[in-house]
Structure 1
Amino acid sequence: MTELVATEAGQARITWRRARDARMVLAVSHGAGGGVEAGDLQALAEALPRHGVTVALVEQPWRVAGRKVAPAPKTLDAGWRGIWPTVSRQGLPVISGGRSAGARVACRTAGELGAAAVLALSFPLHPPGRPERSRVEELTSVTVPLLVVQGANDPFGRPEEFPAELRPAAVVPHADHGLAVPERAPLTRSDALDLVTAAVTAWTATLL
């Protein structure tokens, strides 16, 4: 099921993958360079409903409008705030999640929106090659349970670059920012996605 939601930033689109006996909702959005067709988002939407978690794949208004470049962070946050009444209308706890830029939005807004937890996929700790431009304060602002899933070779922040208390709890070996692995890696793309879904599924079980 897909629905359009009006926000201050324009119309967002939510694609629902519902659990039969849902006990929680994961609202998860995409990054600045892609949409909800990203492999990790689709894998989570396929796997989590079997474990009592309804997944809401959220396309930010700029993507729905067909624009190629993501707007400023404050506009992304406005779009996310706008979809929140819809993803929380069932009265279930909602995990605020996203990949890359979407993970930043989830972290920045978790407190004000009353998120039950935050899922950060491929959190962009800094621009590639610019570790001095750290965004770690967005992670430290999260006061609810937080799961960071990171590729071992992510140029936006390798796991060892995170502060010890914020080290990614789930690391995909050999993976880049898109959680893709090179052909020469000892694991396949499918293996990498299985690691992601297993880690997120186990984590959500601790929240239920």
Structure 2
Amino acid sequence: MTRDTAPVAEERQRDADRSQLTILAAARDEFAEFGLGGARMDRIAERAGVNKRLIYYYFEDKEKLFEAVLEQAYLDIREEERHLHLLDLAPTDAVRKLVEFTWDYYLAHPEFLTLLNSANLHKARHLAESRRAKELNSPLIETLGQILERGRREGTFRGGVDPVQLYVSIAGLSYFYLSNSYTLSAIFGRDLLSTKAKAERLSHMVDVTLGYLLRS
């Protein structure tokens, strides 16, 4: 590539990247609102302000677009987790930070939960077909495993803790509460999304997680 054409090609690539991110953001909102079955490519194109043909050019069909949206959703949360620098913290502080982050992220990004709900309705076949999704999630488990091992060596944490099981528990403590907050509030006659209730929930989740890990 000549010196004169290189900037033009780079600008075209930036335009393509911007277009794809715009489409993914519009598709995320559409899938979060209507699910995979109810989402419509026409509405996604309208949300993104692009021609529908451009969506098919980049993503082939609705199924591939949904897969790409899920990948982007995991990329976003894993990227923010990376900025926590958990390995720089003491094991107890790192686990507490991860619990707090997970709770706060789910609160700030309810679309993440609804996307996961939709993916599970389809037995997560889009994630199962995505090598990228697996690659995105592996580093977090490796990091958590290192934190657990360091805590064990220091005598802070008990041994034999599976990092995958621990992360599923951390995510589940937030996920179930928020996904079912309306039914739980109705059943128990309490506003579980009040400021006080959310603060109590976070404190409870930290206590439960650390109570399981800490040596008595």
Q: TM-score, normalised by structure 2?
A: 0.30
Q: Give the greater-gyration-radius structure (CA).
A: 2
Q: TM-score, normalised by structure 1?
A: 0.31
Higher helix share: 2
Higher strand share: 1
Higher normalized contact order (CA 8 Å, seq sep 6+, divided by chain length) = 2
